[in-house]
Amino acid sequence: MSKIVSARDAVASIPDGATVASAGVIGWVTPDAVLKALGDRFVDTASPRDLTFYFPCGTGDAMGIRGMDHVAREGLMKRIVSGSYINPVDPATGKRPELMRLVRENRIEAYSWPIGATMHWLREVARKSPGYITAVGVGTYADPRHGGGKFTSKAQDDLIKLIQLEGKDYLFYPSWPIDVAIIRASSADRHGNLSWEDEPLTTSNLALAIAAKASGGKVIAQVRRIVDGRPASQVRVPGLFVDSIVVDPDMMMTTDTPYEPAYFSGRRMPLSDLPFPQMSLDKIIARRVAEEVRRGELAIYGFGAATDVPLVMAEQGLFDGDAMADYPATTEHGAYGGIVMPGWQFSANINPDAILDGVSQFDVIDGGLCKFAALSFAQFDARGVVNVSKFGAANPGAGGFIDIAQNAERLVFAGTFTTNGLKADHGPHGLSIQTEGKVRKFVNTADSITYDVAAGVRERGQSAKIVTERAVFEVTGDGLVLTEIAPGVDLRRDILDLMDFAPARIADPLPLMAQQHFESPELAIAEAV
């Protein structure tokens, strides 16, 4: 009997109360057609009801590739556990995702786990262990003493527990079965064997499939095409583990990208063709962060201002010839080598050398092999706590931030000094603030504990810096030290008066950030000539 069915038929037998798991990374490898069919079934029939959804990472962009927003419906979704949430404003509608409305209005049980836990937990489900134990996240918002990853008051069950082993604190994530796994691959043969030959990420698809089958559940795979066969070394999921295949020949590779083989090195893109960032405050920040990157040290880049660092390094000629190999780099989703892209293309690299699955990648991260990390920040507080997980109306979760920050040796947190309306003039004079941001980022107490940086510096010997467009700080065990200031800004008016707490120290003399960071590339070239 053929395993190839329509998306509608693939989801027709999902019962009330089931746990449904699916994997994607923003728009990448998102099984959008199947998730849409499940949402449509509920609209048409009011069933299935009260499902628990498990998404190891934010799946879909909530716009053209809606992903988990397809199933964000009261009655259909009872509970969601996700490693990250998507919260953009759709430019076509001006609205934020429906899932965020359900979270903000406390309509569902919403939990946020660090992505490392969402990946590694699947392995424990697959081998039928009691659950996943880790030291990653102790003392953060995932710790039951600080909320236990609960993002709504409806979320009453303790899905994360604090335990002690040999006198040390750990987080314990009890395992529970997965009834249906919805995954996506490039192709399948008639037996259901799956391969990812033209995808730049595989994320946790294999782990999801094994966990579902070990739970006695079913696996639905969405693919671009059916093939007659291919070398067995290309098959990542055996057909024995696949129950249904849905073919969607028109599925997008990711947001705004129907298909681009440079993302899996099906072709090599010349560095001159890269989309170098326009001159902006983020570019100033990325240029300064680039000074911290060392040759021969595996660097990992997070979403946001830090993402532009490899692009500005390429623009500066640091990767010319074979020099890119001197600066090994990766992201939390498994691409090695090449250059990570910003915005909706984040997580995949142009011209990668290798691609690991998501579960193995977090083995790398938690094992401390990524020595240097450049991450973004939303808040930094007087205790030395950084927050990216929950602030204002945004509930993005931590993504891979906690795993990366806790296990790297050198940290740089990148972002503008204030936000919401910040405008500044930059050029040969340095920086001049035209309109200050309405929201302060250096606060007395962060809204959420994503990572205690000061504790990492004190207790694990980490080093950490904060890089903004107007100031650079070193994080010490007893507070921030202001180590650099942008030329053209006023120390009191533009920095100290906009912090809810004072730095522990200010370097004296206080060095200026390098002038070239504030100049456009064209101006720098003209001056060199």
Q: Which residues are catalytic?
A: 332
What does the alpha-carbon distance between residue 10 and residue 24 come to, in Å, rounded to a whole number?
18
Q: Omega of the bond prior to 56 within 30 degrees of 0, cis?
A: no
DSSP string, 282-345: HHHHHHHHHTT--TTS-EEE-SSGGGGHHHHHHHTTTTTTTGGGGS-EE-TTSEESSEE--GGG
Return the ∠ at Cα 27 (arms to 22 and 30), rounded to 5°: 30
Residues with Cβ within 8 Å of 230's Cβ and at least 6 positions away in sequence, in order, are 187, 189, 195, 197
Which tokens go with 421? Answer: 């309306």
Which tokens go with 253? Answer: 């590779």
Is the separation of the CB atoms in 423 and 434 below 8 Å?
yes
What does the alpha-carbon distance between residue 49 and residue 15 come to, in Å, rounded to a whole number?
8
What does the alpha-carbon distance between residue 24 and residue 352 come to, in Å, rounded to a whole number?
19
Closest CA to 66 of 22, 115, 110: 22
CB burial readout 310-322, b (16+ within 10 A) else e: bbbbbbeebbeee
Residues with Cβ within 8 Å of 180's Cβ and at least 6 positions away in sequence, in order, are 14, 18, 19, 20, 21, 212, 217, 218, 219, 220
Is the separation of the CB atoms in 486 and 470 below 8 Å?
yes
Cα-trace Rg, the chain: 23
Coil, strand or helix: which one is 232?
A: helix
Closest CA to 174 of 116, 111, 128: 128
Share of the chain residues as helix, strand and coil, in percent rounded to the nearest 5: 25, 25, 45
Residues with Cβ within 8 Å of 15's Cβ and at least 6 positions away in sequence, in order, are 48, 179
Which DSSP letter does residue 362 get? H
Give whole-number Cα distances, 49 to 41, 77, 179, 347, 357, in Å. 11, 7, 14, 33, 32
Q: Which amino acid, one-letter code, is at 78?
A: K
Q: Which amino acid, one-letter code, is at 396?
A: P
Return the number of other C-beta atoms located less than 10 Å from residue 511's C-beta.
10
Residue with tokens 């959420």: 448
Which spans in 186-315 are helix H? 205-214, 281-290, 309-315
Q: Which amino acid, one-letter code, is at 325?
A: A
Is the separation of the CB atoms in 420 and 437 below 8 Å?
yes
